[in-house]
Amino acid sequence: MELIAGNWKMHHGGRDSLQLVEGLLERLIAPLPGEVVVCPPATALFMVGDRVQDTPLQLGCQNLFYENGGAFTGEIAPIFAREAGVRYAIIGHSERRALFGEGPEIYRKVQAAIEAGITPILCVGEQLEEREDGRAWPVVLEQLQESLQGLPPEKLAGLAVAYEPVWAIGTGQTASPEDARYMAARIREELKAVSGLRILYGGSVKPDNVDGFMELEEIDGALVGGASLKAETFARLIYREKKG
């Protein structure tokens, strides 16, 4: 089953998040073509979580910590996120890696999410200079191995991996469908022992380019940024042209 996740980043407080959810629910017709996850800012998690109960939408968070309690000012415990109704967690987003120095500890977040009953959406992707140097796949492979180290395949069942070329995030540029297909195929081969694996594409996904990615057999969904901030565009990404 495909997965479409909207990452609202640091946009929309509680009231605006609820308004967006209401607009989205007005446009959704069950059964949905796949799973749809909304990832509001942390301060809106409980409000949105309450609203999406018993609806086709699922709740996701944009980040979490790897401990469930302690002196970790400003962090979000996985069990707190689960209490809010969170079912998915974006982990290792390029903005977390670049702006907040995340890296070696990402595997601990993946493990903590799984232990809390939360499905990770693990983000991987290369910088522009790494792609131009021919190192796109080695960089992504290193991120995968570092982020999943020590976790047996049976623990990772249902994992989602979002391939997001960093140079395409928020820039209006996108990888070509051929590049996305190649990278998704390499990721799937690397993680072939993981049952239920879903590979998403992210990076300036919009209504006018989503079809080219979603028609690929190797792609199981999308992680959407700016286009998920309006109900009408997010709904278009969900109810796009279906192949066949």
The catalytic site residues sit at 93, 164
- Integer CA distances (angstroms), 84 to 40, 88, 107, 175, in order: 12, 12, 23, 35
Number of Cα atoms under 13 Å in the Cβ half of residue 3: 29
Report yes or no: 56 and 36 within 8 Å, Cβ to Cβ. Answer: yes
Report yes or no: 221 and 2 within 8 Å, Cβ to Cβ. Answer: yes
User: How far apart are the C-alpha atoms of 34 and 193, rounded to whole Å?
Assistant: 23
User: How far apart are the C-alpha atoms of 198 and 220, rounded to whole Å?
Assistant: 5
What single-letter amino acid sits at 216?
A: L
Paired residues of 222 in beta bridges: 4, 201
What single-letter amino acid sits at 108?
A: R
Burial class (CB in 10 A: 0-12, 13-18, 19+), 53: exposed
User: How far apart are the C-alpha atoms of 18 and 156, rounded to whole Å?
Assistant: 32
Q: Which residues of 16-94 form beta strands (DSSP E)?
A: 35-39, 57-61, 86-91
